[in-house]
Amino acid sequence: MDLDTIRDVVVARERADLAFVGGACGVLAGGTFLFSEPQEGLDRLVDITGFGWPALMETGGGLEIAATCTLAEFAGAMPGRELGMAVLRADWPGTALFARACRALLASHKIWRTATVGGNVCLSLPAGAVLGSLVALDGVALVWSPDGRDRRIPLREFVLGPGRNALTSGEVLRSITVPFRTLHAHTAFRKIALAPLGRSGAVVMGRRELYGQCAITITAATGRPVVLDFAATPGDYEVSAAVEDIDPTLWFGDPHGAPDWRRHVSGVLAREVAAELRGEAGDSQ
């Protein structure tokens, strides 16, 4: 879609160029959402792809994923590119969630080569499976503030509700870091939708860390990702009780599923995920 309100596009080369961001100035990366519908409140864009951030980089804290990393790079779907497939190592089984999350989205492989991880996170939509996978792996967002300071926000606290997040005016998401302990975790994944090509009604992801800690993350069915933490891999009763205790106002409803249905299927999928993490089921779907 043509954005006929845009009068200026600034390609950011240094952090000072982000001073424009906020109000009527938006952030452009992949642009797959930005150009999908009118943006009547915007008259300027700042293109952050000019920074040239590496898509994936191993750091002292884990795997840093740039906000401008495309879904194709995130899923490891572009072999041979610098820090692409080589960084998604076999001894990091947690990264298996990356490709599964991308496949859960209603997007062609053409979109995968344009849409970005940061865009999926910052849209903060219930069906944002890439966001959900990074929450499930206990990712931490690095946010650049307009005053030049850095702010780190655990992704489980980043989303406040459908389409709402913790970013304030002028702030830009720089990256998300997934810690080594969850990169080494065993994971499981389940998704359900009312139609074969329909938007996700519920997506449930689980991880079991090397020392036994376990977490089950529910998204798409709730207005924001919900993380259920356990000291060890839970049994069915423990999972059911935890799902039952979720704030009833968090269950999301739209044409792709009613809240009561989403609550029910989330419980079913969460028990399947826990069973797989206990070694009682086959490979995750």
- In this predicted model, what pLDDT tens digit does every residue of 51-80 receive, in sequence order? 999 999 999 999 999 999 999 999 884 433
**If DSSP codes are grouped into helix, strand and coil, which group holds residue 1?**
coil
Instruction: Name the least confident of 152-161, 163-172, 191-200.
Output: 191-200
Cα distance between residue 132 and residue 155, in whole Å: 9
User: For residue 79, what pLDDT is reported?
Assistant: 38
Q: Specify the higher pLDDT residue, 78 or 134.
A: 134
Averaged pLDDT of the chain? 90
Closest CA to 222 of 99, 132, 136: 132
Residue 46 predicted with pLDDT over 60: yes
Its pTM stands at: 0.92
pLDDT per position as a tens digit, 1-19: 688 889 999 999 999 999 8
Percent of the chain with pLDDT over 70: 93
Cα distance between residue 221 and residue 262, in whole Å: 5
DSSP assignment of 24-62 equals TEEEESS-TTGGGS--TT-SEEEEGGGG---SEEEETTE
Percent of the chain with pLDDT over 90: 74
Average pLDDT over residues 240-263: 96
User: For residue 105, what pLDDT is reported?
Assistant: 81
* 145 phi/psi in degrees, rounded to 5: -90, 155
Strands (E) across the chain are located at 8-11, 25-28, 44-47, 56-59, 62-66, 140-144, 150-154, 159-161, 164-165, 172-179, 186-192, 202-208, 214-219, 226-230
Dig out the tokens for 145 from the structure. 């503030």
Residues listed for the chain: 285
Residue 236 has a CB neighbour count (10 Å cut-off) of 14
